[in-house]
Amino acid sequence: MDCQYCHFSAERSVDAGIPPVSTCMGCHLMIPGENQPEEITKVREYWNDREPIPWVRIHKVADHVHFPHMRHINAGMQCQECHGEIQEIGVLEEPEPTWGKGKMGWCVSCHVERDVRRDCTVCHY
């Protein structure tokens, strides 16, 4: 399943976007039956009482860093190149350590590799 099905604005905005409940229900309404895994019933409850899902943020760059998702997606990068094998990781209650990813040196080395702009104001302004 494609990440951008839920993170809908990643290819046209700086923000990847957080899925609204309606997106989840798009599929989960189709799946009938009462004996659903309890995670799914949770989602359904949110939908039924019109409450948004309080997602836990696990990736965060500092507020003084501007990371335009769309530039990277449109450059053909895979989400995993920054977010790791995120699809393999199950439920995360706590923010994960980003294995040195999300650190500036890591951004820079990638920019150096691909020979794209890397002066400070590309990200810091």
Q: Which parts of this chain interact with other proteins (CB under 8 A)?
A: 9, 12-15, 17-22, 46-47, 50-66, 68-71, 74, 94-98, 100, 102-106, 108-109, 117-122, 124-125
Measure Cα distances from 59 to 14, 19, 47, 56, 117 in Å: 14, 15, 25, 9, 24
First to last CA, the chain: 35
Nearer to other proteins, 36 or 61 (CB): 61
Report the alpha-carbon distance of residue 104 to residue 37 in Å, rounded.
Answer: 40
Nearer to other proteins, 15 or 77 (CB): 15
Nearest approach, Cβ of residue 35 and other proteins (Å):
25
Nearer to other proteins, 33 or 125 (CB): 125
Measure Cα distances from 94 to 30, 67, 81, 91, 97 in Å: 31, 22, 21, 9, 9
Nearer to other proteins, 33 or 50 (CB): 50
Nearest approach, Cβ of residue 44 and other proteins (Å):
13
